[in-house]
Amino acid sequence: MADAEVRVLAQSDHRAGQDLARAAHHTSPISDREWAYAQDLHEPGLALGAFLGGDLVGTTFLLRSRLALPGGSTVPMAAATGIAVRADRTRRGIFTRLERESLDLAVAQGFPVVGSRVSEATIYGRFGHGVGSTTRAVRLYPHEARLRPEVPAGGEVRLVDGETSVGLLPRLYERLGPYRPGVIERSAGWWKAKWEPLVHSGKGAVVAVHSGPDGDDGFAVYQAMRGGDSGARVTLMVTDFHAANPEAVAGLWRFLLGVDLVEEVCARRRPADELVEGMLVDWRACRTHSVNDDLWLRLVDVPKALGARSYRDGDPFVLEITDDLLPANSGSLRIGPDGVERTSDRPQLSLNVDALAMAYLGGTSFTTLASIGLLRVTDTKALPNADRVFGTDRAAFCGTTF
Ligand SMILES: CC(C)(COP(=O)(O)OP(=O)(O)OC[C@H]1O[C@@H](n2cnc3c(N)ncnc32)[C@H](O)[C@@H]1OP(=O)(O)O)[C@@H](O)C(=O)NCCC(=O)NCCS
């Protein structure tokens, strides 16, 4: 069979590309109504199609975003989505072609980092992607989950109706800014495609906004689900929760746990270091349901990506990176509090670019990478030092689907 031809998708083909991706994820084609919301999400020039004999058989879409980094700066990130190959043309290398081209496209378009949320964890490592952040899914039963009196208080929570939220949430989310490594920018197209349809669907998404002394500083979105035999009581499914400071986090949890007629509160995506059980009188009233990979990262321009974040005090160390797919990234870098520079000095630590993605936001330490065979240590003194230099105050967390 002839090789697939991969090229930038004409904007007129974006809808067909979306339909192909939806079919591969077992979802029906996009309706005219849904397309009216979604069509602005995808910019011209950032979608790739694979063609066989003139037929579209595979897609990858890149969305323009920015990624929050340790130190509070951000770096341009291409959010990869709509990754799919038509079911009758899989396992013959079409995704591999698309993936190579999309990494090149990201570099050419000036994105040092590509982010994705993946359906299968076994596909992406070989292309240099690694888990940049993790999330925790938690379940709390309000009748036993009381907050301790020392937990920060003082702000106010108010409910906002759907139409108001369409204007308010994008402004509030932008105001929160890069409040944690891993948080990503949401474009106007993202809000239109991902939030407005839910507001107008009548599915009862409720928006709670927290305000502190400086105004609005956090929000939680939830939907009530009625179970089998819980009578009038419901499960609150928290689907989107971002808050910039401890008062807002605590205030929103206090509110969620105080809503009447609720059997349980479930939040699928919370930062790994958000110690909800520590806020409670009964530590065991918060149960961890699962810990999951959150944002996967592919550093496509390693010097730029590493140069964009800040580093803690410590001795500079020499890190050797291997990138078989994008060889311009291979080589040694000296990394320290003053920045990142190429060097020909002997490496002290060596890893592949997928393992580097795991360390990039401080999510996985170099000591942990070494302990699971993902880092080669030539100079043992460099290991604790590298951990110190890459260390962060807050666990990386994305919490945005795309
Ligand atoms: C995942 C998908 C894009 C792969 O496309 P494809 O054209 O079959 O992939 P390739 O033929 O290029 O395979 C690349 C490698 O990944 C492996 N691979 C592909 N799909 C895989 C899967 N679902 N699970 C595990 N490994 C997979 C292949 O075996 C191959 O490995 P090899 O080189 O060692 O043989 C395609 O199967 C698909 O659209 N699936 C449904 C939608 C989906 O899951 N998309 C990904 C969203 S993040």
HSE of 150, CA atoms in CB hemisphere, 13 A = 4
Yes or no: domain 135-293 corresponds to CATH 3.40.630.30: yes
Atom 41 of ligand 1, nearest CA residue: 24
Say how many Å lie between the CA of residue 42 and the centre of ligand 1: 23
Nearest one of 106, 100, 60 to 301, comparing CA atoms: 106
| Burial class of residue 110 (count of CB atoms within 10 Å of its CB; 0-12, 13-18, 19+) | exposed
61 contacts 46 by C-beta, under 8 angstroms: yes
Quick check: CB of 123 below 6 Å from ligand 1?
yes
Name 322's bridge partners: 352
Superfamily of domain 296-390: SCP2 sterol-binding domain (3.30.1050.10)
- DSSP class of residue 147 equals B
Provide the pLDDT for residue 2. Answer: 67
Provide the pLDDT for residue 339. Answer: 95
Provide the pLDDT for residue 136. Answer: 98
Q: What ligand 1 atom has the least distance to the C-alpha of 122?
A: 25
Provide the pLDDT for residue 84. Answer: 98
CA 397 from centroid of its chain's CA atoms:
7
209 contacts 241 by C-beta, under 8 angstroms: no
Quick check: CB of 345 below 6 Å from ligand 1?
no
Provide the pLDDT for residue 230. Answer: 66
Nearest one of 267, 214, 218 to 246, comparing CA atoms: 218
Q: Tell me the per-residue pLDDT of 343-371, one tens digit each, with 9 for 90 and over.
A: 999 999 999 999 999 999 999 999 999 99
Residue type for position 29: P
HSE of 83, CA atoms in CB hemisphere, 13 A = 25
Provide the pLDDT for residue 3. Answer: 87
Q: Residue 225: CB partners within 8 Å, gap ≥ 6?
A: 234, 235, 236, 237
Q: Tell me the per-residue pLDDT of 128-149, one tens digit each, with 9 for 90 and over.
A: 999 999 999 999 999 999 999 9
Q: What ligand 1 atom has the least distance to the C-alpha of 85?
A: 39
Q: Which residues of 237-270 are buried (b: 16+ CB within 10 A; e: fewer)?
A: bbbbbbbbbebbbbbbbbbbbeeeebbbbbbbbb
Q: 211 a known binding residue?
A: no
Question: Domain boundaries in the chain?
Answer: 5-111, 135-293, 296-390
Quick check: CB of 101 below 6 Å from ligand 1?
no
Q: Known catalytic residues?
A: 124, 402
CA 99 from centroid of its chain's CA atoms:
19
Name 332's bridge partners: 320, 343
* DSSP per-residue string spanning 232-280: T-EEEEEEEEEESSHHHHHHHHHHHHH-SSEEEEEEEEEETT--TGGGB
Q: 392 a known binding residue?
A: no
Query: Matching CATH topology for 5-111 and 296-390?
Result: no
- DSSP class of residue 358 equals H
Mutating to test ligand 1, I would choose from 95, 122, 124 the residue with most ligand atoms within 8 A of its C-beta, which is 95
Say how many Å lie between the CA of residue 326 and the centre of ligand 1: 20
Q: Tell me the per-residue pLDDT of 176-222, one tens digit each, with 9 for 90 and over.
A: 999 999 999 999 999 999 999 999 998 889 999 999 999 999 999 99
Atom 48 of ligand 1, nearest CA residue: 118
Q: Is the dihedral of CA 6, 3, 21, 325 positive or negative?
A: negative
Q: 120 a known binding residue?
A: yes
Quick check: CB of 119 below 6 Å from ligand 1?
yes
User: Which fold, 5-111?
Assistant: Aminopeptidase (3.40.630)
Say how many Å lie between the CA of residue 46 and the centre of ligand 1: 21
Quick check: CB of 98 below 6 Å from ligand 1?
no
Quick check: CB of 83 below 6 Å from ligand 1?
yes
Residue type for position 296: W
Provide the pLDDT for residue 318. Answer: 98
| Helices of type H across 286-365 | 302-308, 353-360
Query: Can you list the residues of the chain whose pLDDT is less than 50?
Result: none
